Structure 1
Amino acid sequence: MCAGLGVHSLSYDCSANTKTNRQTYLCCHCLENKQCLAEPERAQYGGGIIVNPGFDHNIEGWTVFGKGAIKEPMSKEGNRFIVANNRTQPLDSFSQKVSEGSDTVSVMFKTNGSEMVRGGQVIAKHGCWTLLKGGIVATFSSPVEILFKSKNSTVEIWADNISLQPFSKKQWRSLQDASIERLNFPFGCGTNHHILTNKDCQSWFVDSNTTQREGFKFTTFTNEMKWYSTEKKQGEENYTIADAMLKFTKENDISVRGHNIFWDNPKLQPEWKLGEAAAERMKSVVSRYKGELIAWDVMNENLHFHFYEDKFGENASAAAYATAYELDQEPKLLLNEFNTIEYSGDEASSPAKYIKKLQEILSFPGVSEMSAAIGLQGHFASGQPNLAYMRSGLDLLATTGLPIWFTSKCGSTT
């Protein structure tokens, strides 16, 4: 409640007449003799997520907005309230930063050389405890400090039951061998248009060699299904190469994962205006290959980029998944990202951020029955991979109960 100085209160009629002369009541709590109170009632919902709503702790949590000053007087009856005075502009007032009650917290390892290595990350929520799981591979011999980090300096960081267990390579290997359930999981290889004309490539891809390996039974076309490959000029679709590659894979009993319907990277968009063009792209490619694919990457690299969200609103990606599912209910629909497990320094696509984005998609209307899967690219750089971080990330992603697909492997060697 706010009170203005020097304002006379009048009896307030809460009704309003519409053009149809039907009476409509506005939500303004029409309680007799309570339009102007000598003392305000307590804040509804206990203030919700507002800190110090009744000013029982002076003006803690509140700051000056603009210029002027704020203070906390007390009425004769003992009620505390806030006052903005010495104002010169309309917005000179008081303010408080509010959030939905969650923030990202990382565990960091600091070496003697002051290098900071992120070991894990979690989106911690107010009012409950959340497990932060992580780890590092020690490529140094100096002592380290363990600390916790949140970019939001206005929040408190609470921690309990903290554990850090070192493992030697021998111990790690013994635990790895004991815990991995060895399954005959699908294994494939990406391919491109050269497989249509290169006989050696065809032979290597499909022929079984009992002394080394079997032929690949799964593949992804690296570029041939992407929008910039199938519609180089607006309105001139050409699926000739993708169709021929799909014919080859079907003849050789090779399953195909579709890559991709959209790519969120702003540098890889058609030059023409989107809008209806994006809707037509979705309808065209998904309908054309309905029943032919085992999976689709719907919105590629949706954590690093947000081109479609900027163009069509914050639910653009989730809506794309809903439309893809409506057009074809059979394939698994993947959120395909890089650096989720291979690089702990990339906060944009951490396992915690990945799960949060996936939950946003799965909560969108029309996707409750969608068959989702986790798509992890492998953009590994040279050097020692952080196996402890990778394992903790996979453990966290596995809590979703969804299949985890390693969709590509890129790396450099020296």
Structure 2
Amino acid sequence: MAGRQVGGGRARPRRSAGAEWVAPCDRAIYSTPQLLALITTRVCLCVVLSSWLLGLPCSLAADSFLLHSRSLKPRAEEAVELPRSGAAMRTPRFAPRAVAGFVVLWMLLHCGGELVAAVPPDGWYDYSAYTDCRGQPEPALYNGGILKFGSSDDPDGYRTTETGVFSPAFVVYNLNKTTMYTFSCWVKLEGAYNALITARLAPDNTGVRCIATVLARSDCWAFVKGGFVLDWPSQTAVIFFQNADKTPMKITVASGSLQPFTTDQWAMHQQDTIRKRRKRVATIHVADPQGARVVGASVSVQQTSKDFPIGSAIASTILGNQAYQKWFVDRFNAAVFEDELKWYSTEPTSGLLRFDVPDQMLAFVRSHRVMVRGHNIFWENQDATPRWVKNLTSPDDLRAAVNARIQGLMTRYRGEFAHWDVNNEMLHYNFYEQRLGPNASMEFFSVAQDADPLATLFMNEYNVIETCDDPFSTVDTYAAKLKELRAGGAILEGIGLEGHFSRPNIPLMRAILDKLATLGLPIWFTEIDISNKFDAQTQAAYLEQVLREAYAHPAVSGVMLWTALHPSGCYQMCLTDWGLNNLPTGDVVDRLLNEWRTLQAGGQTDAHGAYSFSGYLGEYVLTVTYNNRTTQSTFSLSPGDETRHINVQM
């Protein structure tokens, strides 16, 4: 069986199940005027060509268009003759002109359809996603976009030199650099009950990258959603599917879609979501004591706090450092302690409790009305477990130590921490599960909930949002673990995504958020940074991409940066040097914080005695002045679709 191989060899297209071989038409992305012009041109060509082939009368406009087109200009002996009134038309001649013409007509219609498919019907991103398995696949998003999946049982074959295994695949042409491609489909297995399936992209035989994953099953259809951005244009690319362990398996694919968006379109989606989810319209109504409208009153509103939490990790280095403290509270309304609450910090030796440092840090954030996350109660990584705990060989001794840890920590800080990461990184490590049994994490959540019922309990994991190459922490693996814990009775109400990015894949990031959003729980980015393998400017550029996407997604409830400052630097990324001079990443954060707040708004009441504005969610001070009289009050903008109305009496 012939197919395309990775790492060498020529591509030979082959008809494939779940995929229709697509003719090599250019699939560029066009602006609306360009697209209208292209469609209009093709319609004119089709109308004129049809009339010419059939010998039917054409309008004067169509005739002039035909004669203007050199490639379609008829020879003199084949010119169309317009019949006189009452005269019979000539019998049309079909060969050989008709045969060639119909081929051209088909190409125009086919390629024109591909051009139309390059832009979604309404121009907007589709946030639809599914984490439940279904009896039948849903229709393709964007009507397939620039893909055309069929129902054939003979799929396009794609074989890698690494395994020699064929998989469903399809070929796409002329992918553009920097375009945001969002990919989706439904898959079903044969030959195994379930398996982790990876969708991979091979552009121009220059390497293979993961663009999406799914935990697929044989008894139902599972939804795949992901995406990619290319660094350079690709003439011919293949999207294929693999079992994660690369063993042979029949994979059926349906409802495939690949939809491109320009960077401008992507930014437009972000701004639209910000307008709908992070802002709200307010109208100030001003009246006198008799209830009459006050026209021409001066209105000024100033935001004093932000509703959306944006924060950073802090360390003990902030204690006693007033300059660092001022720098922090001027920017952030949320905090998390880097290491100071972890078990190895609070109890390095059995029975020797050290809470003086976290107590002081808590007093600092509390005094500045900064919300704080609790990180963490347990950490499944045995390398991050106190040595004395690892040396407890008896399960009973370990269980007693675990219970003392939960009760001591949660009782001491009951009501102080808004969130708790209960069992950190449980998808990658299993120290407690191995020692105490598979239900250990479920027990941790139950005890923590009883100890502090007002705290929101989180899973917290890395490589869920950052990549799809980690088989231990795919989006479906995360969702399955969360559902398992909740089904077992755990009160788990928060999705924690660490966000330690290398080079971010923004379409993949959005797709993963879409799938996690189906769980109906608040999503927090808990530890965002960019790898220090990049230079400062690149770090800053990637950080801006991540922060804009996180802030704009409707399912995200908060963002934390992993940028605790030390004299020696930070874990991966700092915002300033030790002297608090901004680095490029700090400039990005400052610019976005200013962009995402209503610095000041104001104007005069209109003929109805009203003044309206659109402001970011949060608390405001309102000042109204009229005839040398001034009144001041406060109000808040909370989430809501309807206009917020505030009445002021002068």
Correspondence for 1:356 among 480, 484, 488: 480
| Residue 399, structure 1, aligned to residue 515, structure 2 | no
Counterpart code for 1:399? T
> Displacement, 1:169?
2.0
> Displacement, 1:309?
1.1
Give the aligned partner of residue 67 of structure 1.
Answer: none
> Displacement, 1:111?
2.3
> Displacement, 1:251?
1.6
How many Å separate the matches in 2 of 1:173 and 1:222? 32
The question of whether the paired residues in 1 share the 8 Å contact of 2:428 and 2:473 is answered with: yes
The question of whether the paired residues in 2 share the 8 Å contact of 1:331 and 1:371 is answered with: no
The question of whether the paired residues in 2 share the 8 Å contact of 1:123 and 1:352 is answered with: yes
1:174 and 1:248, CA in 2 relative to 1: closer, same or farther beyond 3 A?
A: closer
> Displacement, 1:206?
2.1
How many Å separate the matches in 1 of 2:365 and 2:308? 19
For structure 1, which runs of at least 5 residues remain unmatched after alignment? 1-97, 208-214
CA distances 1:217-245 after superposition (whole Å, capped 9, x unpaired): 21101111110100111111111111111
Match of 1:238, SS state, is: coil
> Displacement, 1:202?
1.2
Match of 1:160, SS state, is: strand
How many Å separate the matches in 2 of 1:159 and 1:394? 22
How many Å separate the matches in 2 of 1:251 and 1:176? 34
CA distances 1:160-196 after superposition (whole Å, capped 9, x unpaired): 1111122222332233333443414211121111221
Give the aligned partner of residue 156 of structure 1.
Answer: 250
Normalising by structure 2, report the TM-score: 0.45
For structure 2, which runs of at least 5 residues remain unmatched after alignment? 1-190, 279-306, 393-397, 536-650
> Displacement, 1:199?
0.9
Give the aligned partner of residue 329 of structure 2.
Answer: 206
How many Å separate the matches in 2 of 1:116 and 1:314? 36
Counterpart code for 1:151? A
Give the aligned partner of residue 356 of structure 2.
Answer: 240
> Displacement, 1:308?
1.1
1:110 and 1:154, CA in 2 relative to 1: closer, same or farther beyond 3 A?
A: closer
Give the aligned partner of residue 269 of structure 2.
Answer: 175
The question of whether the paired residues in 1 share the 8 Å contact of 2:244 and 2:471 is answered with: no
How many Å separate the matches in 2 of 1:236 and 1:158? 58
CA distances 1:202-225 after superposition (whole Å, capped 9, x unpaired): 111224xxxxxxx42211011111
The question of whether the paired residues in 2 share the 8 Å contact of 1:375 and 1:405 is answered with: yes
How many Å separate the matches in 2 of 1:238 and 1:175? 48
How many Å separate the matches in 1 of 2:269 and 2:363? 44
Give the aligned partner of residue 340 of structure 2.
Answer: 224
Alignment of structure 1 residues 214-293 onto 2, 5 Å: 215-272=331-388, 273=392, 274-293=398-417
> Displacement, 1:331?
0.7
CA distances 1:56-93 after superposition (whole Å, capped 9, x unpaired): xxxxxxxxxxxxxxxxxxxxxxxxxxxxxxxxxxxxxx
Give the aligned partner of residue 508 of structure 2.
Answer: 389
CA distances 1:112-155 after superposition (whole Å, capped 9, x unpaired): 23411111111122322221111111123222100011136364
How many Å separate the matches in 2 of 1:399 and 1:311? 33
Match of 2:402, SS state, is: helix
Give the aligned partner of residue 493 of structure 2.
Answer: 372
Give aligned-pair identity as a percent: 38
Match of 2:251, SS state, is: coil
Give the aligned partner of residue 123 of structure 1.
Answer: 215
Counterpart code for 1:122? V
The question of whether the paired residues in 2 share the 8 Å contact of 1:108 and 1:146 is answered with: yes
How many Å separate the matches in 2 of 1:111 and 1:373? 37
1:188 and 1:103, CA in 2 relative to 1: closer, same or farther beyond 3 A?
A: same
Counterpart code for 2:208? M
How many Å separate the matches in 2 of 1:229 and 1:243? 13
**CA RMSD after TM alignment:** 1.9
Give the aligned partner of residue 110 of structure 1.
Answer: 202
The question of whether the paired residues in 2 share the 8 Å contact of 1:263 and 1:269 is answered with: yes
1:347 and 1:371, CA in 2 relative to 1: closer, same or farther beyond 3 A?
A: closer
Counterpart code for 1:195? I
Give the aligned partner of residue 347 of structure 1.
Answer: 471
Match of 1:247, SS state, is: helix
How many Å separate the matches in 1 of 2:363 and 2:237? 56
| Residue 320, structure 1, aligned to residue 444, structure 2 | yes
Match of 1:336, SS state, is: strand
Alignment of structure 1 residues 286-305 onto 2, 5 Å: 286-305=410-429
How many Å separate the matches in 2 of 1:263 and 1:126? 35
How many Å separate the matches in 2 of 1:156 and 1:307? 35
| Residue 133, structure 1, aligned to residue 133, structure 2 | no
How many Å separate the matches in 2 of 1:231 and 1:340? 30
CA distances 1:337-372 after superposition (whole Å, capped 9, x unpaired): 11111122222112111101111111113x2xx251
> Displacement, 1:377?
0.8
How many Å separate the matches in 2 of 1:200 and 1:119? 44
Match of 1:194, SS state, is: helix
Counterpart code for 1:171? Q
Give the aligned partner of residue 454 of structure 2.
Answer: 330
Give the aligned partner of residue 40 of structure 1.
Answer: none
Aligned length: 305
Give the aligned partner of residue 146 of structure 1.
Answer: 239
The question of whether the paired residues in 2 share the 8 Å contact of 1:109 and 1:144 is answered with: yes
Match of 1:285, SS state, is: helix
| Residue 195, structure 1, aligned to residue 318, structure 2 | yes
Match of 1:322, SS state, is: helix
> Displacement, 1:393?
0.4
Match of 1:163, SS state, is: strand
